[in-house]
């Protein structure tokens, strides 16, 4: 297995272009199941996860072709309605085909995704939503089977927790349901709004975009369409944090700063300079005459559903806070096991204590972080290790980087172009 080697302690300087959002590309790819035809999606990142979703669509009978960052998908001849375990186990977001298959075929059989490093990741809200729309679901031999009894019928679906893929799945099961569906406590992430825009372009009738209450009036037909994936706010945020850890200045282009309101506020509170344009962020952290990063201040964060601090940036932010003045309290409220990166960061000399869902980070002085071998455990934890490796003195090695390849397009190349001494080597 490949690993990444980083010779850290160098300021980042230059411009990085952000790719399309993984967590928008996955639901929008799944939405191509809803109606037969040829779809063109632009700004689709070429990632392990998007390749998995395209393989899954192919398993269901679709064909697709990539041309640069655009992908053409033809779902005229769907021949199957089953998402097999060997695909779903590598990407839990495969459950996003449940809603579209119920709408298109009236049935679906998808392997239960199982848990992952960061938590149990149940899909009970998804299944309850489908049942409230008139489907019957059952679990059998590790698969969830869903079948529409008579027809999908509009209803009120309430989410106990604003589940992102739960909202997306129920939305896709409701667009052709007879009558009106109201989704309450819906997730408001920009990726959900990107899906709402695509469904609307297909002919769906959806009100409440960007709010926690979506009202869907079922239609009788939908058409294939063209859509553009929004920029990846988590990728953009990761690079803004990285330049805080190393010092220097990065222009992060083709992003949407309005999708990162809380992160930008927290980075400014820590002492970074953040300037925003319509589609760019300039993040800088002054360095002294010896090229050493200025000291940043410790800042507290609590992860929350959008527009709160994103749980997908918690690990990366912690990698910044380990070298700050003071103590940072990091409270993770979304997932029950999202501190897998802590033990790895401690190997570099970080001073972190965990108390349940809270991590207490006692910042150490700049340059007191020393390289050590680390192992990636999940997608965002691996990004956290890269951020720490970029800051640490010496050469860091990170193994199991297939986690990173799931959600960051060309990260090694992008960082190399802005001064990082980073390379991927055969493991």
Q: Are residues 247 and 287 in contact, defined by beta-carbon separation less than 8 angstroms?
A: yes
User: Out of 3, 10, 104, 126, which residue is the one contacting ligand EPZ (CB under 6 A)?
Assistant: 126
Q: Are residues 213 and 186 in contact, defined by beta-carbon separation less than 8 angstroms?
A: yes
Task: State yes or no: residue 312 binds ligand EPZ (CB under 6 A).
Answer: yes
Name the minimum Å distance from CB 49 to ligand EPZ. 8
Task: State yes or no: residue 184 binds ligand EPZ (CB under 6 A).
Answer: no
β strands within 326-385, DSSP E: 327-331, 351-355, 358-362, 374-375
Closest among 337, 376, 310, 356 to 119, alpha carbons compared: 337
Task: State yes or no: residue 57 binds ligand EPZ (CB under 6 A).
Answer: no
Q: Are residues 80 and 110 in contact, defined by beta-carbon separation less than 8 angstroms?
A: no
Find out whether the peptide bond into 305 is cis, omega within 30 degrees of 0: no
Q: Are residues 340 and 117 in contact, defined by beta-carbon separation less than 8 angstroms?
A: yes
Task: State yes or no: residue 380 binds ligand EPZ (CB under 6 A).
Answer: yes
Task: State yes or no: residue 260 binds ligand EPZ (CB under 6 A).
Answer: no
Task: State yes or no: residue 318 binds ligand EPZ (CB under 6 A).
Answer: no
Nearer to ligand EPZ (CB atom), residue 103 or residue 165: 165
Q: Which of residues 11-50 bind ligand EPZ (CB under 6 A)?
A: 22-23, 26
Q: What is the Cβ-side half-sphere exposure of residue 376, based on CA atoms within 13 angstroms? A: 29
Q: Are residues 22 and 407 in contact, defined by beta-carbon separation less than 8 angstroms?
A: yes
User: Out of 165, 194, 284, 328, which residue is the one contacting ligand EPZ (CB under 6 A)?
Assistant: 165
Strand partners, 8: 394
Task: State yes or no: residue 119 binds ligand EPZ (CB under 6 A).
Answer: yes
Task: State yes or no: residue 164 binds ligand EPZ (CB under 6 A).
Answer: yes
What strands lie across the sheet with 205-207, from one edge to the other? 156-158, 180-184, 213-217, 205-207
**How many whole angstroms separate alpha carbon 137 and alpha carbon 152?**
13
Name the minimum Å distance from CB 275 to ligand EPZ. 27
CB neighbourhood size of 276 (10 A): 17
Place of tokens 């986690």: 403
**How many whole angstroms separate alpha carbon 119 and alpha carbon 75?**
33
Nearer to ligand EPZ (CB atom), residue 263 or residue 298: 263
**How many whole angstroms separate alpha carbon 200 and alpha carbon 330?**
38
Nearer to ligand EPZ (CB atom), residue 26 or residue 28: 26
Task: State yes or no: residue 311 binds ligand EPZ (CB under 6 A).
Answer: yes
Task: State yes or no: residue 83 binds ligand EPZ (CB under 6 A).
Answer: no
Catalytic residue among 116, 255, 294, 324: 116
Task: State yes or no: residue 188 binds ligand EPZ (CB under 6 A).
Answer: no
Task: State yes or no: residue 317 binds ligand EPZ (CB under 6 A).
Answer: no
Task: State yes or no: residue 161 binds ligand EPZ (CB under 6 A).
Answer: yes
User: Out of 42, 76, 114, 124, which residue is the one contacting ligand EPZ (CB under 6 A)?
Assistant: 124
Nearer to ligand EPZ (CB atom), residue 34 or residue 285: 34
Nearer to ligand EPZ (CB atom), residue 236 or residue 285: 236
Nearer to ligand EPZ (CB atom), residue 333 or residue 368: 333
Place of tokens 């009894």: 149
- Encode burial over 392-418: b for 16+ CB neighbours within 10 A, e otherwise: beeebbbbbbebbbbbbbbbbebbeeb
Task: State yes or no: residue 121 binds ligand EPZ (CB under 6 A).
Answer: yes
Give the total of residues touching ligand EPZ (CB under 6 A).
Answer: 24
Q: Is 116 a catalytic residue?
A: yes
Task: State yes or no: residue 130 binds ligand EPZ (CB under 6 A).
Answer: no
**Residues marked as catalytic:** 116
- Give the interface with ligand EPZ as residue ranges (CB under 6 A): 22-23, 26, 93, 119, 121-126, 161, 163-166, 187, 311-312, 334-335, 379-380, 407
């Amino acid at each position: 297995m490949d690993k990444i080697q980083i010779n850290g302690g160098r300021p980042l300087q230059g411009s990085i272009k952000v790719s399309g959002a993984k967590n928008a590309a996955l639901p929008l790819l799944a939405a191509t199941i809803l109606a037969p035809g040829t779809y063109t999606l632009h700004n689709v990142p070429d990632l392990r996860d998007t390749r998995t979703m395209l393989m899954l669509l192919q398993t269901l009978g679709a064909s697709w072709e990539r041309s640069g960052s655009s992908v053409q998908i033809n779902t005229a001849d769907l021949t199957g309605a089953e998402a097999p375990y060997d695909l779903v186990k590598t990407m839990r977001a495969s459950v996003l085909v449940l809603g579209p298959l119920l709408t298109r075929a009236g049935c679906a059989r998808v392997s239960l995704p199982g848990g992952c490093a960061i938590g149990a990741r149940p899909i009970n809200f998804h299944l309850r939503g489908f049942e409230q729309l008139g489907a019957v679901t059952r679990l059998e031999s590790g698969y969830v089977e869903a079948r529409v009894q008579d027809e999908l019928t509009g209803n009120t679906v309430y989410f106990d927790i604003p589940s992102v893929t739960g909202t997306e799945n129920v939305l896709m099961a409701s667009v052709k349901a007879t009558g009106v569906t109201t989704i309450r406590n819906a997730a408001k992430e920009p990726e959900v709004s990107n899906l709402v825009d695509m469904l609307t372009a297909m002919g769906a009738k959806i009100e409440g975009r960007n709010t926690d209450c979506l009202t869907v009036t079922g239609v009788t037909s939908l058409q294939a369409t063209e859509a553009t994936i929004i920029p990846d706010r988590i990728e953009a945020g990761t690079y803004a944090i990285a330049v805080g850890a190393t010092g220097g200045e990065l222009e992060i282009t083709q992003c949407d700063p309005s999708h990162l309101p809380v992160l930008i506020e927290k980075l400014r509170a820590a002492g970074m300079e953040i300037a925003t344009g319509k589609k760019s962020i300039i993040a800088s952290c002054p360095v002294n005459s010896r090229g050493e990063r200025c000291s940043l201040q410790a800042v507290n964060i609590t992860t929350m559903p959008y527009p709160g601090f994103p749980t997908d940036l918690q690990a990366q932010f912690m990698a910044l806070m380990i070298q700050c003045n003071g103590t940072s309290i990091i409270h993770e409220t979304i997932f029950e096991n999202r501190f897998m990166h802590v033990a790895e960061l401690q190997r570099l000399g970080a001073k972190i204590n965990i108390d349940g869902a809270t991590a207490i980070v006692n910042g150490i002085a700049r340059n007191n972080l020393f390289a050590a071998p680390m192992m990636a455990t999940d997608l965002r934890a691996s990004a956290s290790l890269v951020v720490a490796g970029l800051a640490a003195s010496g050469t860091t090695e990170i193994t199991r980087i297939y986690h990173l390849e799931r959600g960051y397009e060309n990260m090694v190349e992008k960082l190399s172009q802005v001064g990082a001494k980073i390379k991927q080597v055969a493991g």
